[in-house]
Structure 1
Amino acid sequence: MRKVCLSGILLLSVILLAGAASAASVGGDQGWYNIHCNVDGAAVYMDGEYKGEIVNGILTVPVYSTGTPYKTISVEMPGYTTWFENIDTNPAMGEQEDIYATLNPSTEPTPAPIGGDTGYYVVYCNVDGADVYFGSDYKGQTANGELTVEIYTTGTPYTTYSVQKSGYTPFTAQISDYPAKGETVKLHATLNPAPQPTKSPVAPGIIMISVMGALLCGFLISRRE
């Protein structure tokens, strides 16, 4: 009878190991990205997902080595040109990958001649407090669902605009309409919450198998006695 009990325990151990391996294949082994940046408070995005802000020159992002690898990373801060890079390596289990981002102050647009004609863009957005950029130039934050941007009609026209806020996927679009003197062109941006990282699933079956195995072993021992 003792052999039967030992066999049951051995079988239970094999099942538990198999369940743990299955959970590992789903959740994956963990590695880390260390993102270094020269500007504290800069927002870090990986494949458009917000990962946090730079604090004391660094942000550590945990990733699963068995998960889908990230392909791009960007670091953004109002008043600075957005830094962007492709990701070529994914950290293995227990390993760390260092990524270095340098943010440079955005270049101010060339002043138009004195007396230059002005027009306006009104950027409408579903999120207040979002940062608005025309090209790489910071223009301000949305308030009460909009932001008015004055431009010189005689200056070099902008071709893109973007709207960004921590916790949301950045929005970028082309500019195809240009205001004439005294005119206003409306632009629209919709910010969607950034996807949250998928948590590793819990394997409740492992707990049930453990309980059943313990009960079986106790039953066999009581029968022997």
Structure 2
Amino acid sequence: MSVERDDHAGNWFQAGGQNYARFRPEYPPALVAFLAGASADTRFAVDVGCGSGQLAAQLGAHFDSVLGLDPSADQIVHAPVTERVRYAQAPAEHLPVPDRSASLVAAAQAAHWFDLPAFYAEVRRIAKAGALLALVSYGVPKLDEALDERFLHFYRDEIGPFWPPERQLVDRGYADLDFPFAEFPPPAMAIRKAWSLAELMGYISTWSAVKHALEQGHGRVIECFATNLAACWGDPETKRPVTWPINMRTGIV
């Protein structure tokens, strides 16, 4: 890899809310259609831990009103505001939502960070009769055969020690989370993308484990992986398949 490419690889890992908004994969239309169809009605949806608004923006096509909530101002400043979708800074445990008003309460790739008992108390307070609660997560992405082995070695062994303990809940598809609601099984779904090397690296830059490794002075491990993957990838503009399984806990409040 040339010096110029190495410098560019370093830039991939300068992550923030802007990178999060740009590189986190959007959810498939089937997921949002399912959430709308299973909700009490389509008047008002609340997306808790909304990040930069990936799910909230899509819910706006199905619900009269959507409120995205996140404790990080850096995240929501990059979220797309529309006529039906607005955002506010708030934690999952203290939701600025009126009692018995929400038709859907969703949390996408966020519930593993919550104080669940406090969050669930808020869900029961804001949910109208028959409202849907959906905890959505997506697991470890799968790459094509030429890349997957190197990628998994990085994910599990090299960057693995820098993941917070909560990441294990995501890897297990939220199966270990307490979920004291009238649960029902959701349909099987996946996120499917065709990405260039830069797009994949941009997504990896949003990982909390990458941020922790950089903060602790282990950037060389990350740069080595970037160099190795680039060599396996070939032309960096080539689009390669990336697939994430979607896991959900869904129930009626």
TM-score bracket for this pair, using the shorter chain length? under 0.3
Counting strand residues as a fraction of each chain, which structure ranks higher? 1
Q: Which has the higher helix share?
A: 2
Give TM-score scaled by structure 1 length. 0.22
**Computing the radius of gyration over CA atoms, which structure comes out larger, 1 or 2?**
1
Per the normalisation by structure 2, the TM-score is 0.20
Which structure would you say has the larger RCO, counting Cα contacts within 8 Å and 6 or more residues apart?
2
